[in-house]
Structure 1
Amino acid sequence: MTHVHPRISPDGHHQHDNDGQAEILDLDAEVLAEHTLAITQWLPVRESPGQIVDLGCGTGAGTFALLERFPEAHVTAVDASSGHLQRLREKARARGVEERVRTVQADLDEPDWPGLGTPDLVWASASMHHMAHPDHALRNVHDLLAPGGLFAVVELSGFPRFLPENAPEDRPGLEERCHEASDRFHAEHVPHRGADWGPKLAEAGFTVEGERAITVNIEGSRSEAVGAYALGSLQRMRHSVADALSTEDLAALDRLLDTHGSHSILHREDLVVRTERTVWAARRTD
């Protein structure tokens, strides 16, 4: 999830360079890898792109999915976090694709963008809604793209849910109440979250060629990463919702987050990753 300036974590604050925040991005990439690859396969590309730009690349979830989908392509990965970019470069070396990846550290809310070439495909996953001036960024992407090039905007519908509705046993419905408080927080601090990007893309001069909603429903038993992903996500959400929760709800949340306690979310066998991702595919037709 990023601003092409620092990423915003589920606590609503800008993420800076530390291992904890990079780790949650890596878990996000691992847990949602199948769905990310499915989106890249759906993209209505006319021919395999040679140059791709990944805006708000984080630690590389989109970058590596695109490199796998388009084996002849080179990717310019852009983010404001030097730590995330360093981690991405290390992954590229480990995968033997470092020669196909260029990293650029930049805040794309700045008026002057760095040189990003003339890409055939621009990918922005969970980054556009963090931009302070997304309309300006959309126009910049339009001008950046090669004629006939494609812009893919991917967004999650809020933060994933992990618990059954009747959980935890001592405070049923806790997660839903946390999400309601988080939604109120983000409505104030991240106003473009949940936006319909189709009209915005059309206003910026694009022709929207496709929109697709993908339902994510991943059983926790399939991967140990799901427990770690749930823990990290709820830890970050806690910062934005703590003041809005009742004393009883906050105590129940803290029991879930206590990795040494018997109520730890890591001990649960009923976790499921539930969310929805929407992708818009828009072409520069002029």
Structure 2
Amino acid sequence: MTPSHRHTPHPCGSPDHHGEHGDGGQAEILDLDAEVLAEHIASITAWLPLKAVPRRIVDLGCGTGAGTFALLERFPGAHVTAVDASAGHLRLLDERASARGLRDRVRTVRADLDISRWPEVGTPDLVWASASMHHLADPVRALARVHELLAPGGLFAVVELDGFPRFLPPGAPEGRPGLEERAHRATEGLHAAHVPHRGADWARMLAAAGFTVEAERTITVSIDGSRSQAVGRYARRGLQGLRGAAAPALPPEDLAALDELLDDRSPRGILHRDDLAVRTERTVWAARRT
């Protein structure tokens, strides 16, 4: 679920992780996102209004493979072409496919989806794009290109974030309640400038590209930290990136509180808290080429 062009710092769920640079840091947060939200990804693949079981699937902006492997599990007879701009992410995906005995069902393709000529990816029955379309400089052109390559009657599933995940309760942390929301507000201008298509009207854009939008669904995610130890690590990486992006606009008291949350030695550190949760929303549009 990484952007499949130039990497814009990406939150959780693929998300636009504030201040995360480099394949290694982004790969870690994508993996945590996949682990924590695996149940929700599976629910989306099960919900898709398919007319027939897809055999040829393209995953645009595949990242380290959260969507790819969910689709392979959901459709055991399918082959997935996984497309991303990051060689490091594709290498990890290849290694994991081999480790899971799925190498013959996955092909990885490195590509920048903002270039005018895309690489050959066949004629898929299903195209999946999770948290990747909003990163493109020209998503209108990309949507038209997807419409061209889809098989007649094929489905395009666009999954986008309605907002960045929140991890702390509103009254936290002690002494600086509401810190997380203030930090997110401090980054709004940054994201408006660097990711202008986040929150776009995808239903309208899909229709303009020639698709028939057959279904739309918003999924509310609320995962208590007690359900998985990965929630703490996920929160730590998310807040670490948030701190880097929000730092210029936050007062010293907020920065100090964030630093304490990110200090693993502090008893108030994020990894020692028992009040964490993952709260976010994702919207899915299922659009058909008629």
Equivalent residue number for residue 140 of structure 1:
145
- Within the candidate set 181, 184, 194, 1:179 is matched to 184
Return the alpha-carbon distance in structure 2 between the equivalents of residues 186 and 43 of structure 1: 30
Equivalent residue number for residue 228 of structure 2:
223
Equivalent residue number for residue 110 of structure 1:
115
Give the secondary structure class of the aligned counterpart of 2:171. Answer: coil
Equivalent residue number for residue 86 of structure 1:
91
For residue 32 of structure 1, report the CA deviation from its aligned partner: 0.5
Counterpart amino acid of residue 17 in structure 1: D
Equivalent residue number for residue 169 of structure 2:
164
For residue 93 of structure 1, report the CA deviation from its aligned partner: 1.0
Equivalent residue number for residue 275 of structure 2:
270
User: C-alpha root-mean-square deviation of aligned residues, in Å?
Assistant: 1.2
Q: TM-score, normalised by structure 2?
A: 0.95
Return the alpha-carbon distance in structure 1 between the equivalents of residues 227 and 18 of structure 2: 29
Give the secondary structure class of the aligned counterpart of 1:266. Answer: helix
Is 1:232 matched with 2:232? no
Contact 2:20 2:26 in 1 (8 A): no
Counterpart amino acid of residue 105 in structure 1: R
Counterpart amino acid of residue 59 in structure 2: D
- Within the candidate set 22, 30, 43, 1:16 is matched to 22
Equivalent residue number for residue 13 of structure 2:
none
Give the secondary structure class of the aligned counterpart of 1:275. Answer: strand
For residue 262 of structure 1, report the CA deviation from its aligned partner: 2.1
Unaligned regions of 5+ residues in structure 2, if any? 11-15
Superposed, 1:1-286 pairs within 5 Å as 1-8=1-8, 9=10, 10-12=16-18, 15-18=21-24, 20-285=25-290
Q: TM-score, normalised by structure 1?
A: 0.97
Return the alpha-carbon distance in structure 2 between the equivalents of residues 88 and 230 of structure 1: 23
Contact 1:11 1:240 in 2 (8 A): no
Contact 1:7 1:58 in 2 (8 A): no
For residue 184 of structure 1, report the CA deviation from its aligned partner: 2.4
Contact 1:6 1:14 in 2 (8 A): no
Contact 1:6 1:16 in 2 (8 A): no
Q: How many residues align?
A: 284
